[in-house]
Amino acid sequence: MYQQERAEFIEFLRSEKQLSVHTQTNYERDLQKFADSCKTYSLTQLADIRSQHIRQMVAQLHRQGLGGKSLSRWLSAMRSFFAFAIRKGWAKNNPADAIQAPKSPKKLPKTLDVDQTAQFVNVEGDSVLALRDRALLELIYSSGLRLAEVVGLNLHDVDLSDGMVTVLGKGNKTRMLPIGSHAIAALIDWLSHRKNLLKDSAEQAIFISQKGTRITHRAVQMRMQQLSVQQGMDTPVHPHMLRHSFASHMLESSGDLRLVQEMLGHANISTTQIYTHLDFQHLAKVYDSAHPRAQRKKEPQERPE
């Protein structure tokens, strides 16, 4: 259905818009979905298609398994197609205008439980790199730091006597955070050996590479991938997973969402609220395993004859 119109539109994308072959293929796929839906609803004229028809098609595609992002792309293709159809005189209005795709559910961040976290951050060995890695991981988990925040730390940002760290977060906002005892001990060990990697005494970065310069974001990510294998983790651990784990464990223990918001440096509490879902999942598991009336009833067994 609408084969000639679709072919002219794709040629327009190729010759005038000069879109890539990959993008053209995506448009062709989306237009085929549109044509199939039109056939289902017996819509034989582009000029007869109204907004309610597009809404019905969105609902149908959603039931067939298309997620929010795919539906948004499909609607974008429809808007472009109908804009071309108006230009060609095939239609008088754009029925896809002002129609939004259903939002995709937010994916919950992956976290480690307390035991898994302890297993990961407990980097064994007394080499200078092992000391650095242990201090780095302990500090991220202890204070819930972002990767950019921990990489950007300078020597004067940490007060080990008071157990506080000052970080520069998003929007150039500064916040002071407590450091846990394990992280303090790891930092003391690392800072006493940091000079073994130092090439320039003027370097102020707390965490430095083997070259003696501030460690990069990518270097931390790659090192954590290596440590994931070394520490026997079931899944690769990335810096933000430690931050997520910090937030989840803090909320689980304290129940204080505002406190977690302040420590994470979230401008809006709605960003922090995702951790309430993680906490609820944990509580639900505990409830299901512990409450006598939460467990599913077993299938009744047949009585012996």
| Enzyme catalytic residues | 146, 170, 240, 243, 266, 275
Contacts of 202 (CB under 8 A, 6+ apart): none
Residues 77, 78, 82: CA angle, nearest 5 degrees: 120
Closest CA relative to residue 206, chosen from 131, 134, 152, 125: 152
Tell me which residue of 248, 269, 125 sits closest to 189, measured CA to CA.
Answer: 125
Which is nearest to 30 in space by CA: 44, 10, 51?
10
* Other beta carbons within 10 Å of 105: 8
CA angle 176, 182, 185 (to 5 degrees): 90
Residue 61 main-chain phi, psi, to 5 deg:
-65, -35
Structure tokens at 16: 């005038």
CB atoms within 10 A of CB 93: 13
- Phi, psi at 214, each rounded to 5°: -50, 135
79 token code pair: 């808007």
